[in-house]
Each structure stands twice: as C-alpha cells, then as structure tokens.
Chain A
Amino acid sequence: MHPCLQILKFQIVLCICIMLASCRGDEIVYPTIGTHVTDEVRNGGLYVLCEGNMGSNKARLDYINLHTGDYYSNWYGAMNPTQMKELGDVGNDIQQYGHRLYAVINCSHKVEVMDLSARHIAKIDISNCRYMAFKGDKMYVSAYVGSIADPDMLGSVYEVDTATLTVTREVKVGHQPDELCVVDNKLFVCNSGGYLTNRYDSTISVIDLTTFTEIEKIPVGLNPTRIRVDAQKHLWVCCQGNYVNAMPSLVILDFTHILKRITTSCSNISICGNTAYVIDNEANTLRAFSTIDFAEQPQPIDIKNYEHPYGLLATDEALYITDAKNYVSSGVLHCYGYDGHEHWRALTGDIPGHLCRVTGEYSLAPDTGSHEDVHRYLAHVYEYLPGMGQFVNELPKYEEGDDAETMCRKCEQAIANNAGGLVCLGGWGGYITFGFDHPVENKEGRDIQILANAYYMTGSTEYGSSEPGIVLVSRDANNNGMPDDTWYELKGCLYDNPQTNHTYQKTYTRSGDTIQNPFHKQPYYPQWLEEDEYTLYGAKLPSQTVKISGQTVQKILDFGYVDNKPNNDTIGSSFDISWAVDTYGQSVSLPTIDFVRVYTAVDEINDPTGEISTEISGAIDLHIE
C-alpha cells in the first residue's frame, strides 16, 4: 500500500477514536450539589435567589438547610426537574407568604409560585415583573411595562389573587416601578425611571388598595428603587441618584413628610427590629441606622474586602450578606452574628441578590408523585408507650412475649383503617405515634380528625368526659420513613395558659406499680418494657375536673385537644396543621405532615374513674374523600 494511504488510514482511525471518545449522550438536567457549611443548628432554612445574567437563563434558587448546615445549589432545579429550561432568566425577588414561596423571574416574565420546599405549583405571567408585596389574600407585583404602546412608558402594579393565582386588577404608576410595600390599606411604590437614562423618576406612588387607584405621588429623590417599612411605620426609601452628579440618598418619610434624608449610597436595605441596615456600595460598608431617631449606629460588620456587596437580609438571629463578585461568576453568601463575627460562608450561583428566610420544617425530598390510591384513615402505628394506668396492658391486650413492635401491631388492629377499637394512652405523658399512607396536606381549615371517646354531660356542651391529649406533628425531613424528626406541637387553647407547664416530666417505675383499682387488677406498668423505669416529657395541662351534682366531670376545652369533644363534633375533634409551633412557641408553616403523636396531657387521678387517660379510636385525613 502507498505510504500516503497509510498515513490517511492512520488519520482516519485517529479521528474515529476522537469521535468515539467524545460522543455526547443524553443531556442530563442540572444537578444539585450539597455542601456542608456550618455545624450551627437553626430552625428552617434560607433560600438564595441568584439572578444570573440576562439571556443566560441562569436564575438559580439555592437553599441552605439551617438545621443540617448543608448548602444546596440549584435546589429548584432538583425539586422540579421537569420544568422546561429550569427556573428562568434573571431572578429578581423572592418572598414567603403563607405556605408558599413566590419568586419573580424578571426576564422570564413570570412569578413562580412554589410550596415552601420550592416545588412548582404555578406560574403567573406578568411581563417584565420586578418586585412583590402581599396583603391578605392578595399579592401586588410591580412591572416595568404596563399597557402596550404607552408613549410615556409608565409601569404598572398588578393585583394577584393568591387563591386563584390570577391577575385581578392593574393600576398604572410612574416610570419603571421597583420595590413596593404595603402599609395599612395603602401601597407605596418606588418609581425608579430606570429605563430613562438622565431622566430618572423621583416619586413614590401611593395606591389605595380598596379602589386600587393611585391617590398621590410623593417626590422623594432621584431614582428610588427600594422601599421598606419599619415598626414605627416609617418608610425607608433608597434613591440611587443619576450615577453622575446627583448623589444617592436614603430617605425616611412618614407617608407625607420627609423626616430625614441621609446622603449615602444605598444599594440594598434590610430592617430588623429597630435597626435599618444599608449597604453603602460606594464605600463598601454596611451602615446601620436606628429606626427610632435615625441616628447612625456603629457598623456591625466589616465588608471592605467585598468585591460587590449585593444581597442583604437582617434577621433576629443573623445578618446575611452576599458578595456578587464580578457578576459573571459564583458569588458568596456570608452569615454574621451581630457581634460582627462571621459564622459561615457558602459559594452561590451568579449574582446572589435575594434572600428569603423560611422557618419551620417542610418536606425537602423531591415529590415522588402518585397521590392515587390513598386512604383517609389512620394506617400505621409507629410507637405506643402509655403512662401507667388502669387500662394499660388491656387496651390493647398484653400477652406473654409481646414487645413494643407487636404492641404497635395490636394498636393498628384496634384503630387503623377505621377499625373502631380503642387504644388507651394511660397516665400523663403516655403516647402513641401514628401516620397515614400519605403525607397529610396543610390546607385551609382543619386537616385531621382524631377520634376518641369523649362525651358531653347530658344537657351540656360545657362539661363532660374530657381526657385531653396534646397533638404533635412532624415531617419526615430525613426521609427515612421513621418518626425521628422534629416534632411541632399543635397549639391548643391552653397553650398560653400560665398554668400550663411546658417542661413537665414524669418517671414511671415497675416498683411503683401499686395503686390498684379493684376493677383492674392487671399490672399497670407496660409489661412489654424490659426497663424497670421510664421517663416521659411534655406539657402538663391544668386540671379541668369539677364535681357537678355529684358527678365528676371535666370542663370541655375550647379547641386543640384529643379526647375532649365527641367524635360527632367534627370540627371540635379536628386539628389544623397551621397551629403548629416550635419549642419556642414560634409558629411554623408545614405544607404537609407525615406523623402525628398524641399524649395524655393531664396528670390527675380521680376516684372512682381512675387516672385521666387519653384514649383514641382512629384518625381521618379530612382532605381525602
């Protein structure tokens, strides 16, 4: 063969090798990458909306789980892999309202509506949308572009019904409206004029929310972009100036009068308590001002070495501030304590601009789908540990050889799938943990009914047999199917009662198994336990027992306790997941729950009825037909 042919052959073989080595397969959705950034444990999490550059489609929602200290990039993408072209182009605002998370994606011309885990619920198409504010069941969205072919190029604010997620009304405001906020029944909108180089707008539009009309325009200063309200109902407005000779300024006003004008650059602002934190992006400092007397306070942290300080969020627990670097590469999220000490930092997406702190626990696992074939009745009993009592070892019946596991199965036989039996929780603290064959959603109104054997005294709805049990709920946050996650108490009517002891505990011992009721001669100590003693913890409610006409009865509690109102009072025996509070009593929003725990909440023994012990006979998910 000719030598040239050999060279050619060699070249072709080489090329084929290169091609084979370089074949591309299917394009895989962008992954999420988790990084552990802190060992501090806090409740809930923080969403970081990274804007991404225009046209790049790189708006990215990152999430840090503050409970585990893990930072996840591209969280939205992972939760919603089927969303065509991911979150979109240029993220501009993110806020939590109720049980939902809302994100404005500016150049995708939409408001993305998500649950608190960032699962897509819906999108609302609004052209060139910028920022959001909320009140009641309405969301207000500013948009740079209002009606088509408007020669003045005025922007608009749209009113959106958060129940139907549709635009209900529109009001025309000034040029290129940016941030907006609601105070009382008025909406204040910054008219930036950002599209009009050299001719910036300088007003705040005031919208009456009832009529949804602009009632006045307040002049504040050139190019207002941000507006926040403090606890004293002062409005803080960041005016950017014209970037040439008109200086930027921070303007504080009380609806009608300008109270103070501070000459400072102010690219971002966040108010927490009685302090307003402002990024002075010219001097690369974080300035702090009192919201009482507007006096400048010492700078809480040093951000001199930041390339471009950008996003800012001040919360009770920490100051979060981002560095957008050169805007076309990863930014950094910093978390500081108020002592100025940096607690942790994390690498974000491009231009981390908007932060949203979400408290409470919510399911972080991607939705696996199928909600078909689910049942409304209690399906599983995971734990059963009664306090000592006269029905212990009887309801359900203990037999030789039983252990905790078989006792749970016996509980299931008694009360699962609407079996109608009864399980006794015994004395104070005794509990049962159960669940359904699906997560129970937190919707409007009551979500779960828990059946028991309470009854009203004849002719009364005020008194009867009430053996109240406290309800706890939990989400399977670690996704292991076991109720080993954080519990939240459903706040009943006695939660804030000063007589309620929230840190009560009680130890039961086998040797203390002596108080015998003649009617119940079996041991009162749970016989399947190997240990000779156990301690239960929780809240103890004050006794409600009274004697009426010689009858020992209890005052029926208003709401929030199991075995308190009879089963035929559907509302009275039902519970709303929205009542959930954390151990500090802070309300948490849980979109769904996986586990329910009920424990006897009163520590009291009466003659002749014995100890007050909560019984339960089943549970129903009210949202399933």
Chain B
Amino acid sequence: MNKNILLILIFALCARSVFAVSDAELDSLYNQFHIEEVEVTARALAKDVIVPQTLKGAELKRLNALSVADALRYFSGVQLKDYGGVGGIKTINVRSMGSQHTAVYYNGVQLGNAQNGQVDLGRFSLDNMEQIQLYNGQKSDIFQSAREFGAAGNVYLTTRRPYFKDKERVHVRAQMRCGSFALANPSLGFDVKLTETLALNFDAEYVYSDGRYPFRYRRVLPSGEVAYDTTAIRQNGDINAVRVEGGLHDYYSTTGFFRIHAYNYWSERGIPGAIVNNVWRNGERLWDRNNFVQAEWQDEWFNRWNTRVLAKWANDYTHYKNYDERLLPSNNEYLQQEVYFSFANKVRIFNWWDASLAYDYQYNILDRKNLLIEAVPEHFNRHSHWLSVATAMNIKEYLRLQASVLMTAVQNDKSSITNDKCKFTPGIFFSLRPYPAIDLSINAFYKQSYRYPTFNDLYYTDLGNANLRPELARQHSVEVAYRKTDKTYHIDLSASYYYNRVTDKIIAYPKGQQFRWTMLNLGTVKINGVDSKADFSFFLPLNFTLRARLNYTYQTAIDVTNPEDTYYGHQIPYIPWHSGSVVGGLDWKSKRGDHYGFNYSFIYVGKRYCQQENTVYNEVLPWYTHDLAVYAEWNIRQFWLKANFELNNMLGQDYEVIQNYPMPKQNIRCTLAFRY
C-alpha cells in the first residue's frame, strides 16, 4: 500500500516540476492530436447539445488499451464489467442503468445482440479505430436513424476512413504486438484510392493468447497473520481470433457519400470460469462467427433536405460446449440473423429550425439448437419498428433546443403488437451558452428509453417469460462545460449531475418450484450521480506537450423496489460509489517530426458489492491499477514507424472486477507499427 502512495507522490512531484517550466510562446503540438476528422453531415449544427466524451486519433493510441473496452474505462460515468484476460467478456454500463441500456454503433449502425442484448466490447480492436465517443442520452444530432433515439447511452465506434494527401494512392499498415501470456497480435491493412472520390480500405487482425496468467488470493486474519496465500495460473483462458473487414467509400460530392462496410470476426476461446473453492479449472469452450455487411448513403437536396439510408445484414453464430466432465454436458448452437433498414430525413425549415423524420425496421431470427438432444432447432423471430420525429432550434447564439419522440413497436414471433410492446419515448435537450465570447455552456436533458426484453429473457429454456414488459429508464441530466484553447494550452472541463430512475427492471426471480428461475419485471432503481472530467494540454517549450485527463464519478444507485426486502435502499451490484481515472503524458516532438513520450494512467474503482444486499459478505474491495506506456514514432520520408512498450498493472495488484474472476497481475505489451 505504501508503495502505491509513494508512486503517486512521485508522479505528483514530477508533474509539479514540469508545470513550473515557463509558459513561453512555443510551437504548438496541438494539431498533432487533431488529425482530420470525418464530418458526416454538412451544415450540421456546429456544436453538440450534449457534449460527448471522445477519445480519438493519437490520444487513443497512446492509452494502455488493447480493445475498445479498455479505452472506455477512461470515460466518466462508465462501469466496465471485465471477466479478465484477453478473451474475457467485457461489457459496459453507463450511469448504472445496466449494460443493456447502452447501444454500441459501429460506423453509425448499431451492433445487435437480440439474444442477450449485450455487446462484448473486448472483441473490438483499437487498431483500426479512429474515434470512440460516448453520448449520455443520445447523440444530439436530430439527423440520425430512428433507432439511435432509443437507447439510454450510446457508444459510437468509428473506424479509420481512408484519407489521402495529394498524389498518394496507396497506404499500407502493418503492426505486430506481443505481450505477456503469449499474446501475439499481428495486423495488416491497406487503403487504395480507386478514383478521385472512391477509396477502398481493408484491415485484418489476428489475436492469440494462451490466457495463462498468474493470480493470487491472499487473505489475512484480523490480527494481521496470513490466513492463506495462494498463487495459481488461470486455465482455459486461451483465445484465437481473426478479424477481417473492409469497405468502399465514395464521397462523390461535398454533400453526398456512399459507403459499404463488410466485417467478419471468427474466434475460438476458453471460458476460464469462476475460481471457487476446490475448482481451478473449467472446461467451457466458445466459438463465435460474426459477419455483417452494412451500407450507408446520404445526400442533400435543395440545400435544405437531407436524406440518409442505411441497410445492414448480420449473421452471428455461436457454439458453446462444456467439456467439463464433472458438470452437465452441454453443446449448444445459436444462430442469429438480422436485417436492418433505416430511412432518415431532415429538413431545414428556417435557418434556425430543423426537423427530422426517420423510420427503421429490423428483423431478427434466433435459432437455438441443443446438439445433445435435439435435432431441430428452436426458432424465434422478432420484427421491430421505430419511428422518430425530432426537431432542433437554434435561438440566436444563446440557446439550442432539441426534442424528439420515438415510437417503438416490437412483435415477437406471431404474437400481435400489444400496448406493452408499443411505446412512445420523448426526449428534450437544451444547451445554453450565456456568453458568446466564452465557451461555457449549460446543457440539460430529460429522456425516456425502453430496454426491450431479449430473446433470452423471453424464451430461455425454463427461464424465459414471454409476458415481459420492456424496462423503462428515465434520465435527467444537467451539465456545465467549459472549454478554452490558447496557443499554449487547451482545457476542457465539465461536470454533470444526473438523476435516473429505472423501473420495471427485468430480473431473474425464482419460481415456485425448486431452483427454477424466471424473468420478471421486478425492480426499481434510483440513481444519482456526478460525473466530472478535466482535460488539459500544455504546449511547453522545446516542443514538449504535457497532457492530463482526469475523471471522477460519484454515484449512488439504490434499489427501491420493495421496503420489505433486506436490500431495500442498498447500492445495486457492481456499482462503486467512487470511481475515476487519471491519465498523464509527456510528448516531445523533434525537429524532424519524430515523437517520443510516455503515458501514465491510473484507474480507480472504489468499494462495491457483488449482490443486492450490502453486507460484509458481499463486499468487493476497491481496485486500482497503474499503467505506463513509453513510445517513439519516427517519420522517415513516406514511412512512419512506431514502437510502443506498455507495462500494465505496474504494482501487480491482485484484484477482481467481477467476484471470483481474478484479473492479471503485472503484464507487458510491445507494439511495433509501420505505415506507408
């Protein structure tokens, strides 16, 4: 413990001495992490009503992160569930509403999982990611697909768009990453400029890790004497995964574009399982195959009418098998198919008033097959319709207003759409900027959103309940944001308070018979929280840039279902009261344009409970990790070379994010990247 304090103090002292350098006027490195962005809409509102949290470009690359999930840990208000290791499932929960209230969009189209409603963000690599954004409420652009109005929290993943300077026709990328636990992660990509407007890109990646990381359980008696101290190696945590994706982009005019993107992911992995008394190894294996193709077309007419059309086909196959002869043998196959179509229009009524109308349709199929006993799969399907109406107003420079109403109708199998399955959800957003000269804004929103029951909730063997109602989340949020950019610094501060209420929460509840569970709309949660974040960049003398990013979240998420319950008024599982992160880095740019630097990050997740009842037996200790990365980038003519060394969990803390799923101790990663 003392070591940690010492380290923090050293870091703080270093930081202090660096700040003491005089802030004379010097070359700005600011542009370095403001590389070209993709503005998908011409003449969209200049600023967001709800300011998203963003990680992009070089900043994203500098983080100690392998997957999108790792990067999302640096956002405030986000709780990551991480089962450990490269192959462990990683999902996020935004503002304590539950991971199924968070939608994830890949290049503008939502990633679906009609089976369980959760997207494993550990599967999405950062290697070809240009930008990750998190919007609380919704993306504050009324020109979007209807479905985007539907979720309570939205994560947008944007992959790299091919970008060519004059006379460039081809870009090639190659990267090799190695690390602890036999991590091998080569990737390859290229972009080709076919015509002036048409470009093609391709990316492929392979990930292997044996997942055999050491973990340790040490407990002491109240006297301080060691009760037990055991170190073991995580078993059956290996992963083999291949990702191949590519796209065609045609930005044929200043207002219109067409793009198509195909994605394929294949993996085989072990599920290491919970470490419990007398059990060190589990035998579950999982095979995944995810394919999707999505196309997007957008254009503008008469200078005031915008149209966007999206289409997607997805095919996800999962095969789960339990090799553990001590347990119920199981061998199940799941095949999900999804067809999605969206048609969105926005019209500019006046210069200060926009309105939009969008309709989305989705068809989902799930085939579930128990290979041990059934030859014929069980078949479930669902039709979903979304219709949205939205409007946005800019009143002078002071006030921006948005309002939207979404109608959602869900039809499962042959059942008719009942009142329960057809819901209207409003959202109201406003942003006030009292002083035009100062980038200070006060933003607020109120939004309702429904989480529809998944196929598992409805039809899981013996457990599903076809009569479930959707789960409702009501969000209220107020934010104050301040931004300032100067030659020598850039700061970005914001603080928000939110109050959410989730009702009709879908939870598993035991039925009358022994140990038979069913899903019920039972549960009300009241969430109060404060997110605060600060981003600083200082452009120091001698081409040094110092950056710091701080996040802190305080939240209470209280179960208020029934005063009779022993856990009434208790914090819901896995929501810490305190959490936060500190990221700091120093970058030096040489005259030739080479970069050298380091990045340090500290993540803290405070005390929380692993079950509804906040008793000493359910308490999970805080965890915090210190990660360090050192990097160098060289520009040699058209070639760009980068070497990166990461040391994660420097102090080797033995921690668990999810109880009984130990996380890795110290581990390293080395990356060598090449770009032409």
Contact = CB atoms under 8 A, between A and B. Distances in A.
Interface of A: 1-2, 4-5, 7-9, 11-16, 18-20, 22-31, 33, 55-60, 73-74, 81-89, 105, 107-110, 123, 125, 127-128, 144-145, 148-149, 153, 195-197, 199, 225, 240, 243, 248, 265, 267, 281-282, 308, 310, 324-330, 347, 349-350
- For the complex of A and B, the 9 pairs showing the least CB-CB separation, nearest first, are A88-B277, A127-B326, A89-B276, A57-B276, A85-B277, A108-B278, A55-B274, A329-B613, A81-B227
Contact of B224 (A26, A153, A267): A26
B660 A57 contact: yes
Nearest to B534: A11
A350 B578 CA distance: 27
Nearest to B224: A26
Given A12-B15, A26-B220, A56-B660, A347 B491 contact: no
Contacts of A109: 278-279, 326
Interface stretch (B159-167, B179-187, B290-298, B508-516): B508-516
Nearest to B567: A329
Interface of B: 1, 4-5, 8-9, 12, 15-16, 19, 23, 217-222, 224, 227-228, 230, 273-279, 325-329, 373, 461-462, 484, 488-489, 491, 493, 509-510, 512-517, 534, 536, 538, 548, 550, 552, 565-567, 578, 580, 582, 602, 604, 606-607, 610-613, 615-617, 621-624, 659-660
A88 B276 contact: yes
Nearest to A89: B276
Most buried by B among A12, A25, A81, A153: A12
A74 B617 contact: yes
B534 A7 contact: yes
B21 to A, nearest CB: 10
Contacts of A56: 274, 276, 610-611, 659-660
A105 B277 CA distance: 9
Nearest to B230: A84
Contacts of A86: 277
A22 B605 CA distance: 9
Contact of A108 (B279, B491, B493, B514): B279
A23 B219 contact: no
B286 to A, nearest CB: 16
B220 A28 contact: yes
B1 A23 contact: yes
Contact of B489 (A4, A19, A20, A308): A4
A128 B276 contact: no
Given A18-B578, A57-B277, A240 B514 contact: yes
Most buried by B among A58, A197, A240, A347: A58
A240 B514 CA distance: 9
B536 A31 contact: no
Contact of B510 (A84, A148, A327): A327
30 contacts: A2-B488, A2-B489, A4-B484, A4-B489, A8-B548, A12-B15, A15-B550, A15-B580, A19-B624, A22-B578, A28-B219, A28-B221, A30-B616, A55-B274, A81-B227, A86-B277, A87-B277, A88-B276, A107-B279, A108-B278, A108-B279, A109-B278, A110-B278, A128-B326, A197-B461, A199-B373, A240-B513, A243-B516, A327-B515, A349-B617
B82 to A, nearest CB: 16
A366 B578 CA distance: 37
B278 to A, nearest CB: 4
Nearest to B328: A195
Given A12-B15, A57-B274, 10 more contacts: A1-B19, A4-B484, A4-B491, A18-B604, A29-B221, A30-B617, A55-B274, A282-B512, A324-B510, A347-B566
Contact of B536 (A4, A29, A127): A4
Nearest to A332: B566
Contacts of A281: 512-514
Contacts of B565: 325-326, 329
Contacts of B217: 84-85
B510 A326 contact: yes
A24 B622 contact: yes
Most buried by A among B9, B517, B617: B617
B28 to A, nearest CB: 15
A308 B510 contact: yes
A22 B604 contact: yes
Contacts of B514: 225, 240, 267, 281, 310
A265 B514 CA distance: 10
Most buried by A among B218, B224, B276: B276
A125 B326 CA distance: 11
Contacts of B221: 28-29, 81
B617 A22 contact: no
A552 B23 CA distance: 116
A468 B513 CA distance: 60
A84 B97 CA distance: 35
B5 A149 contact: no
A148 B513 contact: no
Contact of A29 (B219, B373, B604): B219
Contact of A55 (B227, B488, B623, B660): B660
Contacts of B513: 240, 243, 248, 265, 267, 281-282
A327 to B, nearest CB: 5
A84 B326 contact: no
Given A89-B276, A105-B278, A8 B220 contact: no
Contacts of A240: 513-514
A371 B489 CA distance: 71
Contacts of A73: 617
Nearest to A195: B328
B607 to A, nearest CB: 8
Contact of B278 (A2, A12, A18, A125): A125
B276 A7 contact: no
Given A28-B220, A347-B566, A19 B8 contact: yes
B73 to A, nearest CB: 16
Contact of A329 (B275, B491, B611): B611
B621 A89 contact: no
A195 B567 CA distance: 32
B617 A58 contact: yes
B462 A243 contact: yes
Given A24-B622, A109-B326, A16 B12 contact: yes
A436 to B, nearest CB: 27
Contact of B16 (A9, A308, A350): A9
Contacts of A267: 513-514
B621 A24 contact: yes
Contacts of B488: 2
A20 B19 CA distance: 23
A108 B660 CA distance: 13
B19 A84 contact: no
Contacts of A329: 565-567, 611-613
A23 B277 contact: no
A325 B566 contact: yes
B508 to A, nearest CB: 8
Contacts of A1: 19
Contacts of A330: 566, 613, 615
A202 B580 CA distance: 56
B176 to A, nearest CB: 35
A81 to B, nearest CB: 4
B613 to A, nearest CB: 4
Contacts of A55: 273-274, 276, 660
A1 B20 CA distance: 8
A248 B516 CA distance: 14
A518 B119 CA distance: 102
Nearest to B325: A148
A145 B325 contact: yes
A23 B548 CA distance: 22
A83 B12 contact: no
Contacts of B461: 197
Contacts of A31: 222, 616
B512 A145 contact: no
A12 B552 CA distance: 11
